[in-house]
């Protein structure tokens, strides 16, 4: 009889722990996976634009704006942004920087991201 009561106590403790663990997982923010997917898409877009910028520079010996990359056929991406992020290319004689500006009005707390001519992805100041 004692072993049956001990087994029931352990079973109740396991069930309570299980329920608390999974209820905490559900309440920790369901937007995190969607935001992560959006950021991966933005990162891929920035790297794609940077790669197109490198190809354009190899062919024309200069860097191009986002519209020039698109109109020359170097870049196949047709949209100038993704999920509220707006893309911009900053060029100079010695390099370029592709920036994704976040939609601060609709997504407070988001950050701008950038890729430079060395293909380094980082948050933009």
Euclidean distance between CA atoms 22 and 27, whole angstroms = 9
Nearest to 122 by CA among 114, 101, 49: 114
Residue 34 lies in a domain: no
Mean pLDDT across the chain: 82
Whether 2 is covered by a domain: the verdict is no
Instruction: Give the position of tokens 């988001």.
Output: 110
Sign of the CA dihedral with 124 first, then 91, 107, and 83 last? negative
Q: Is 99 a member of any domain?
A: yes
pLDDT along the chain (125 residues), means of 10: 84 86 59 73 89 91 87 77 84 90 77 90 82
Q: Cα(first)–Cα(last) distance of the chain, in Å?
A: 68
Predicted structure pTM score: 0.69
Q: Domain for residue 20, yes or no?
A: no
Report the number of distinct structural domains present in the chain. 1
Range of the domain at 64: 39-123
14 within some domain:
no
């Amino acid at each position: 009889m004692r072993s049956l009561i001990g087994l029931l106590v352990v079973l109740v403790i396991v069930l309570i722990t299980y329920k608390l663990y999974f209820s905490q997982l559900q309440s920790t923010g369901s937007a995190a996976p969607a935001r992560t997917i959006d950021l991966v898409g933005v990162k891929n877009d920035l790297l794609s634009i940077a790669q197109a910028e490198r190809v354009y520079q190899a062919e024309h010996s200069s860097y191009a704006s986002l519209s020039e990359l698109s109109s020359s056929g170097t870049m196949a991406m047709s949209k100038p942004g993704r999920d509220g992020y707006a893309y911009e290319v900053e060029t100079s004689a010695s390099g370029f920087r592709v920036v994704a500006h976040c939609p601060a009005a609709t997504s407070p707390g988001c950050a701008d991201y950038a890729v430079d001519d060395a293909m380094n992805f980082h948050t933009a100041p």
